[in-house]
Amino acid sequence: MAGLSLHSVKKRFGDTEVIAGVDLKVEEGEFVVFVGPSGCGKSTLLRMIAGLETTSSGRIEIGGADVTHVDPAKRGIAMVFQTYALYPHMTVAANMGFPLEMAGLPQTEIDAKVAEAARVLHLEPYLQRKPRELSGGQRQRVAIGRAIVRQPGVFLFDEPLSNLDAELRVQMRIEIARLHQQLGATMIYVTHDQVEAMTLASRIVVLRAGRIEQVGAPLELYHNPDNSFVGGFIGSPRMNFVKARIIRRTDEGIELSAPATGLAKLIAQPRGASPGEGTEVTLGIRPEHFVAAKGSDATLAGQVSVVERLGGVTYVHASLGDGTMITVETRDDKGFGEGADARFGIDGSKVFMFDADGQRI
């Protein structure tokens, strides 16, 4: 087991800066998840940690040692990719033992380590099968087993579950959480899947265009996003964004309105100093934070476009007077008809406010 740290790490491909200076400390035994839109540099950063990409500037330390220019095989890491890359002609046992064979370990030692990994991953019945005789989930477990046998200080996962169907993904997600508890190993996990990030991570790192936007525990990011990007990225379905204007400051908070969206009056609490009267802000309202409209002034008015009834919850998609589309989560599947007008109540204590640059107010 080992912790690791990144110090002003940058990566350029030719003239393009893909990783624009990243600082991060990962404690021993932590489960850190990198999330961010496609192309933001998640894989590149992971591959730099693995040593599969060179680092243009900055320093990478694993277990306290500077490994910035150390060969991947000597970094004490193991990486699991989206594609399993198993050898089709080898058995499960041979696939898992392969890195140890390459390292020249005696066969008895290889057998013992493979047996132990197979036990942890529930692969014992399949050791003599070929990859083609396994399901997708079992194949990915073999790929993980191939990482485990090396007893790395740090496990690196790059979207390992993306090729699995939805049901298997849920199963494997739980397996990986269990594996982390059992091994207590440091893990860095790249995903674009909301739920994977929220459920697996001890801390989430939100990346955008090669920079860290925010780092924190999943619920910390959910409850306290620093900016609209993080607010919009963490949480599913996505946070709604609605333009509004500050009318005045009151003892209870600041009073906002947005006539174009039917919002007459909303009192909300700023996080820091409140901007002045007349300032345009963006409200961030999570779908799960809408309340019954009743007779309140704090409501949005819109036309319902689509109603998705999932049984437990219903998602109402509506378009506001200014064209903004919103998604509202409700437990009440009645009362919302497609094409009909509707009002949606806002709970001022749960609303986020962002300035013109998207920074949290």
What does the binding site for ligand ADP look like in residue numbers (CB under 6 A)? 13, 18, 36, 38-44
**Pick from ligand ADP, Mg ion, none: which does 50 bind, CB < 5 to 8 A by kind?**
none
**Pick from Mg ion, ligand ADP, none: which does 239 bind, CB < 5 to 8 A by kind?**
none
At 144, which helix (H) or strand (E)? helix 136-148
The CA-atom distances, in angstroms, between 292 and each of 1, 192, 298, 309, 325 are 50, 33, 10, 18, 19
d(CA 201, CA 178): 13
Q: Which is nearer to ligand ADP, 35 or 86 (CB)?
A: 35
For every residue of 245-299, DSSP letters joined together read EEEEEETTEEEEEEGGGTEEEEEE--SSSPPPTT-EEEEEE-GGGEE--TT-SSE
- Residue 342: closest CA among 328, 353, 331: 328
**Pick from Mg ion, ligand ADP, none: which does 68 bind, CB < 5 to 8 A by kind?**
none
Q: Which is nearer to ligand ADP, 42 or 360 (CB)?
A: 42
Least gap, CB of 42 to Mg ion (angstroms): 5
**Pick from Mg ion, ligand ADP, none: which does 38 bind, CB < 5 to 8 A by kind?**
ligand ADP
Of residues 25-54, those binding Mg ion (CB under 5 A) = 43
**Pick from Mg ion, ligand ADP, none: which does 169 bind, CB < 5 to 8 A by kind?**
none
Of residues 259-288, those binding Mg ion (CB under 5 A) = none
Q: Please, what is the angle between helix 166-183 and helix 136-148, to 10°?
A: 20
Q: Are strands 280-285 and 352-354 parallel, antiparallel or unpaired?
A: antiparallel
Q: Which is nearer to Mg ion, 159 or 255 (CB)?
A: 159
Least gap, CB of 272 to ligand ADP (angstroms): 31
239 DSSP 8-state letter? P
**Pick from Mg ion, ligand ADP, none: which does 181 bind, CB < 5 to 8 A by kind?**
none
Phi, psi of 222 (to 5 degrees): -65, -45
Token pair, residue 270, equals 């700023």
90 DSSP 8-state letter? S
Token pair, residue 141, equals 């477990």
Q: Which is nearer to ligand ADP, 2 or 80 (CB)?
A: 80
Q: Which is nearer to ligand ADP, 96 or 221 (CB)?
A: 221
Q: Is 191 in the site for Mg ion (CB under 5 A)?
A: no
What does the binding site for Mg ion look like in residue numbers (CB under 5 A)? Answer: 43
